[in-house]
Structure 1
Amino acid sequence: MDYTFNSGKLMRTPPRPLGEASSQPDLFHTPSDLGDSDLNVNLKKRKYPVDSTENITRTMNDMVININSMLQDLKANQNEQFSQIRKDMSALKKQNDDLLTSNAEIKKTICVISDEQNALKLRVEKLEQGENKAINYVSDLEQQVESLEWKIRETSVEIRNLPTESSYEKMLDVIKQLHQTLNVTYDQRDIRSVYRLPAKQDGPRTIVLEYAGLQKKSELLQAYKKHNQANKEDRLSTNSVGLLGVKKIIYINGRLTRKAQQLHYQARQLVKDGSYRFCWTARGKVFVKKDEGEPIIEIKTVEQMVALSSETRADD
């Protein structure tokens, strides 16, 4: 049964009559049944010419030769690269050996320098110890000189603003009048010496009055302090001792050593700038006090003075 399409529709082929074969092919005919022309069957074989085989062989040989040549070039290139690598490795090894040798020398030099440094360090430590001993020794000597200098000046006082143009006898008369004004017994035998100090500037030269003993010095200083406390508006002056002319305040202080004078001067600066209220000397030493009821501080060194000044600024 066959089917056909017509205008997009499936059509069925009419059936064949019964007994009619659909096809009558003579599949099993014999050659005798065929004509002579049918016996001429052309059988063609695929043949390759001889020249083509030789060309293929030659091509293959050329390819092998080319491959061998390429392999030889590759091998030569690799050998060259390996040779260069060996050279580079040899150079690196030599550099490494040189570095090891150099490092060994550097290490040896460092050891030598380290030994020298340790030796120098020990030497510096010994020098520092010697310096500290020398500083302590100098400090002890300065203290001894300070003590001796104070011992020499222990019984002396300094009188400032008394006229010094007059004669020695006139100066003794003024000193006698000074004792009488302060109600201190005067006996010339109590005086060991009287002399003037060099003047640093124009004005009366300071008079140094040296007593034979410490008692008279203490009496004069106490009387001077008591007089000024009792006469704050009329302190001891040149008019108080009978000297006419321009009135000048007379100052009497125990004579200090040079070191104590410097400390006293700087301590007075603390009073001037308001850091401390009181500053005075006693027995050749310098003292300061901030205010009433505050502890008394003895000034011994310049460094201590600087520290006190810095401490005061920090508090402000």
Structure 2
Amino acid sequence: MKKSPIKIMFYLILFISTMISITSTSWLGAWMGLEINLLSFLPLISNQSSYNNSMIKYFITQTLASVILITSIITLMINMFKSKEIINIMVAMSLLMKMGAAPMHFWFPEVMEFLEWKNCMLLMTWQKIAPMIMISYIDMNQLFMTIIIIMSAMVGAILGLNQISLRLILAYSSINHLGWMLASMQTSMITWTWYFLAYSLLTSLIALSFKSININFINEMFNSKNNNKTDKLNSALMLMSLGGMPPFLGFLPKWMVMQDLMQLNMYLTSTTLIVSSTITLYFYMKMFISAGILSIKETKWSNNNTPIKNKLLMLMNTMSTMGLVMSPLILK
């Protein structure tokens, strides 16, 4: 797995399998795409012996979800039940387990904790595309989806409060954002598309930023391991944007979702999402308040020794920071 051609092959299969799932005209074809996706992602997270535990947990959970999904599909094809609502809920539960939404989120933080940052980035972004689009194909019960949205938003917000691992913080943040994305799917797929694009951009930038400065825990953000204030400011701005603080880019899709929810009179859902987003913003800010107060041995501001890839991340972060200002041009 250390040879790049092999990795490129698995990345290509990962991309193709997701395209198979979201463009398939039958449930069996979509299920096949999910299975190929699973078999291509497992080698990417098993390239080191220390990650075998995460690989086993991921494999068992995804296999269980696939068994529930294929059983539901077969039951639907042979018309075993007159009411399709139960089957739709079973299909949705299997897809929610695959993406790590609450209350089927038990595996997601445990797998994230031991992955490399690149694989974490894939798990938080690309691996959610196929299950979420497949859920949009289902005629779901409104009460069931509202419960899932509220649980995902609150579980992701509350369980992320007392974490010190950056991977766990981003894992629970991803669960919280799943609540927002599922809510956006209830209103408009266009809104979901904008939300997912903004979320993927910001999450990828944060994961790559943490990888470039080689930090894994909160205390490493203000100790001698990372003396570059520019990198810290860059990471802080990206996390503020991911939390939805105006005027950053992350506020734009949440603004769109809130408008759509208010037009549909979904006041309970919108209130829960706002409260949960405020909590997540708190534990994002907590990291950088600590870094600002406790860093007494840092160097002065300097940008002379910043690597080129870090400067590229800073440029992309600047674009994301100015995203809300440029949004009228994009959405014109």
Common topology (TM > 0.5)? no
Q: Normalising by structure 1, what TM-score?
A: 0.24
Structure (1/2) with the larger helix percentage: 2
Structure (1/2) with the larger strand percentage: 1
Q: Normalising by structure 2, what TM-score?
A: 0.23
User: Does 1 or 2 have the higher relative contact order (CA < 8 Å, sep 6+)?
Assistant: 2
